[in-house]
Amino acid sequence: MIHPIEYRYGSPEMRQIFSEEKKLEFQLKVEAVLAQSLADLGKIPVKAAQTISQKANIDFVKIERVKEIEAETKHDIMALAKALTEVSGDAGKYVHLTATSYDIVDTVQALQIKEAVEILLRKGKELLKNCLSVASKYQELIMVGRTHGQHAIPITLGFKFANYCDKIGDDLTRLSNDRQYIGGKFSGAVGNYAAQELYEVGEDLEQKIMQYLGIAAVDVSNQVVPRENLARIVCDVAIFAATIEQIAKEIRNLQRTEIAEISEPFGKKQVGSSTMAQKKNPINSENICGNARVIRSCVAPILENIALEHERDLTNSSCERSILPTVFILADEIISRMNSIIQDIVVHPANIAKNLELTNGTIMAEAIITRLAQKGMGRQIAHEILRKSSFEAIEKNCNLRDILLREETVLRHMSPEEIKGSLKYDFYIGRSSQKTRQIINKWKQWNQ
């Protein structure tokens, strides 16, 4: 084994979909269904179709033999057809009848993608459920909201996760809708059904094959199914990966020693560093961010594959062999890792409370500006007063409250009690809690 996706990343069920053995099984299944469909339409003997179906499995068609023939023919699907023909006896003359290579390749690819998408959806729904649980549990826990890496105004931890829930829900909805783009073909060498017409089966053969396989046929193709279909699916997987990366990046930042508000779970015997024994590194979140970059790198070539020449060229083939396993296996990996993080995420309320106080109450400056504007002060005047007062509080390391209680311009509009009340963090979380509950209800119903 050479590539990490062979042994390090992705679940066995996802890796297996793209393994050589499973791919050969899919190919043989499609060849068997082709023979069965031709027999159903009265174009080849039923007994021949039965023989082909019986032999079309890896117990008879060995992957080693297929590779031997491919080394001679320099053509993978011709090698498959020859290997199946060899073991099918007299019925072998009906193997691959009316088909072109990409009738097999694209239909097999559709079967692979169908199974892979279902795995991502299943694990994605589990991730949504876990994020909804965090949002619900911490919908009232007030924390610092940050913009540009700076303390902004208060939010709740639940609200932060409600944002993630909504994004995950949207990503899963799009990925679920992308099932419509999973389609095979059996329309021949340039997509015009010429061989099928000669055998007087037209599109009936294609429809029968797809019915057996449980997938749809694309409405029209040339030699290949439209590559726009693959591009849409890969792009949506990449967007989902970017959403998960956003969560991972936030966890990494909030786990910083000087912030320490939330962190990944850390096993009792887990080691953070081979030398710095005190460390608890956010390795799963970092892994997610790294693998999300690889997934994104597949977006450009999958888009370039759309513009094939004439009725097709071969430039899509080689990169799709790499792109599809990479995208789906790594997406499976990062979803699984994020699930393990969120299920046991560690929240540090004491540090969250401590960090709220770091800026001496100045994160409530907007609240006072808004109050003063309500009381009749010009908004820009109020902003300038709070800008100077906030900088003074930070410079002198005193609370903004103490500065404002000495500011005559402010006191002419607000009483000391109103100033103190407006500086309480729970006064200015807006609709953080209500919005969190709204998003929880929205996606909880969808996920049931």
Are the C-beta atoms of residues 181 and 231 closer than 8 Å to each other? no
The H or E element spanning position 147 is: strand 142-147
Pairing of strands 346-347, 262-263: antiparallel
Which tokens hold the place of 124? 């994605």
Other Cβ atoms less than 10 A from the Cβ of 215: the count is 18
The type of residue at 125 is K
Beta-carbon contacts of 439 under 8 Å, excluding residues fewer than 6 positions away, are: 135, 162, 163, 165, 166
Are the C-beta atoms of residues 101 and 89 closer than 8 Å to each other? no
Strand runs (DSSP E) across 218-299, as ranges?
262-263
Per annotation, catalytic residue among 3, 19, 273, 297 = 273
- Spatial distance between the Cα atoms of 123 and 131, rounded to a whole number of angstroms: 12
Are the C-beta atoms of residues 447 and 128 closer than 8 Å to each other? yes
Angle between helices 63-73 and 20-40 (to 10 degrees): 80
- Spatial distance between the Cα atoms of 448 and 436, rounded to a whole number of angstroms: 18
- Spatial distance between the Cα atoms of 142 and 426, rounded to a whole number of angstroms: 7
**Range list of H helices, 255-306:** 283-297, 299-304
Let me know if 310 is a catalytic residue: no
Let me know if 88 is a catalytic residue: no
Which tokens hold the place of 310? 């004439």
Active site amino acids: 148, 273
